[in-house]
Amino acid sequence: MSRFVVTPTPLRELVVLERKRLDDERGTFERLYCSTDLAPLIGDRQIVQINRTLTRHRGVVRGMHFQYPPHAEYKLVSCLRGQVYDVAVDIRSGSPTFLRWHAEILTEDNRRTLFIPEGFAHGFQTLTSDCEMLYFHTAPYSGAAESGISPTEPKLGIGWPLPIRFTSERDASRAPLDDAFGGVSV
């Protein structure tokens, strides 16, 4: 029996996982990852890195990050505390939904995980203070392969729900996308 409800999004391969929670008099239990249950999504890839972030203030934007092949990665992103507006952008070369984005609100209470396949940029905005995020990655971080798109890129038109209070200098200074950006081949 799977511990996840899988819901497709309008972007091919980008799905929302809802973690089933078990409650009793002792408290709660929920599975964050299971290679058997998630094999239809990630195939034979393995989780090789787990990261955690804590963002102190409401309105902060982190992203839109991705890694070029051969370091492209699948990510499973969950919010363990607080509430975030989590965004994935399809940057796969030749995809019919190229440069389209999809967002989900992830909270500690709704137990949703965004499953982000290779060829997507990812970022989020905190809707509350003190947001804690947990990321499972199928590839280790590679500084040489890392890149991103500005979270305010006009060609994306991401509808951030709050005014952007802060973003890193690196993310804010990303060059605008030009017509030469053909995406990534995965």
Query: Which residues are part of the catalytic machinery?
Result: 65, 135
How large is the C-alpha radius of gyration of the chain? 16
| Rounded distance between C-alpha atoms, residue 108 and residue 117, angstroms | 22
Q: Collapse the DSSP code of 118 into the 3-class scheme (helix H, G, I; strand E, B; otherwise coil) and give the result.
A: coil
Burial of 87 (0-12, 13-18, 19+ CB in 10 A): buried
Give which of 168, 127, 128 is closest to 148, Cα–Cα: 168
Distance separating alpha carbons of residues 154 and 35, to the nearest angstrom: 38
